[in-house]
Amino acid sequence: MEAWRRQLDEPVSAFPIVKAGPAHVATLKTFDPPLSTLEGRTFAGARRRAKRLMFPTADGELVVLVHLMTAGRLKYLRAGEKGPKVPAFRLEFEGGAQLVLTEAGSKKRAGVWLLTPEAVEAELAHLGPEALGLGAVALGEICAEESRRLHSLLRDQRVIAGIGRAWANEILHHAQLSPFALSRDLAPEQVQRLSDAIDTELGRGLELRERGANDARTYRMHDKLREPCYVCGTPIARVDYEEHTVYYCPDCQTGGRVLKDRRLSRLLR
Ligand SMILES: [Zn+2]
């Protein structure tokens, strides 16, 4: 997300918006103020909070907030550049450049909100501190607060903002911690390792995305079932947990133990 923000920051603020919309009915989540109130205004740039991208207007009155979910893509098209016929959302700038949101598949999960700055604040108030640069001290406090499975804790945006399920897999593997270890059981040295892994992995992701790498090249654990672990060569394992699939290395992370599906292991307990 940070890589996208950097790419969009300059171009979106170059020209005023001449036409806002159309937007897919499932994508645009707000109707007041109407999209047309954007027309004639210029963005101040692109901002980011956790996985949300925000485009505040230069006059400080409105903010376009975008959440891409899993399949949404936001693209800046220069004047004359070919784009999708029916994007889920489109903004056209003076001179012909466009900002378009597309989403693969029939389910529209990505969202666009047109809000006042106050409404954005309210919307974001429940988010935890940013993951990147969080540091071991703050992370230690978060881990001690309540006993949570690490994979679920890392993904909880109210606790730490900015880590999705894929990066939770990458980070926990890098830290050599089990996705199911309990946060309160971590030794200070393990908290430090987890904190370092958050910065290293998110930093690595940012760099690869800026160079245009795709998911397959960016992730080393996520979605790599049975491929060799890049550290020890053990085939990567997978366990289905609640609505998420967790990828891990049984040798590096769980002391050789193969984890059972959560639902199944509950029955067997
Ligand atoms: Zn391994």
Kindly report, residue by residue over 158-203, the tens digit of the pLDDT: 999 989 889 999 999 999 999 999 999 999 999 999 999 999 999 9
Ligand 1 mean position, distance from CA 36 (Å): 53
Q: Distance between CA atoms of 43 and 52, rounded to whole angstroms? A: 16
56 Cα: distance to centroid of ligand 1 (angstroms) = 44
Least Cα distance to 163 among 76, 51, 251 occurs for: 51
Angle at 230 between CA 243 and CA 206, to 5 degrees: 70
CA of 176 from ligand 1 middle (Å) equals 8
235 alpha carbon to ligand 1 midpoint, in Å? 8
Q: What is the mean pLDDT of residues 84-100?
A: 95
Q: If you average pLDDT over every residue of the chain, what do you get?
A: 91
Band (pLDDT 50/70/90 cuts) for residue 30 is confident
Residue 198, CB half-sphere, CA atoms under 13 Å: how many?
24
Assess whether pLDDT exceeds 90 at residue 125.
Answer: no
Rounded to an integer, the average pLDDT of 145-169 is 92
Residue 36 has pLDDT above 80, yes or no: yes
What's the pLDDT at 99?
Answer: 97
pLDDT digits (tens, 9 = 90+) for 93-106: 999 999 999 998 87
Residue 268: predicted pLDDT: 47
Q: What is the pLDDT of residue 77?
A: 96
Position 269 scores a pLDDT of 42
The predicted-structure confidence for 15-28, as pLDDT tens digits, reads as follows: 999 999 999 888 99
Q: Of all helices (H) and strands (E), which one includes residue 121?
A: helix 117-124
Give the amino acid at 214: N
Give dist(CA 179, CA 151) in Å, integer: 5
Q: Give me the pLDDT at residue 242, please.
A: 67
**232 CA to middle of ligand 1, Å?**
4
Please, which residues have CB within 8 angstroms of residue 224's CB and are 6 or more apart in sequence?
236, 247
Q: What is the mean pLDDT of residues 143-151?
A: 93
pLDDT of residue 263: 55
Q: Which position has the higher pLDDT, 262 or 77?
A: 77
Rounded mean pLDDT, 49-74: 92
The rounded Å distance from CA 228 to ligand 1 centre is 8
Q: How far is the CA of 199 from the centre of ligand 1 (A)?
A: 20
The pLDDT of residue 226 is 96
Ligand 1 midpoint to CA 231 (Å): 5
Which residue intervals of 131-268 are DSSP H helices?
136-145, 150-155, 165-174, 188-210, 215-218, 250-253, 262-268
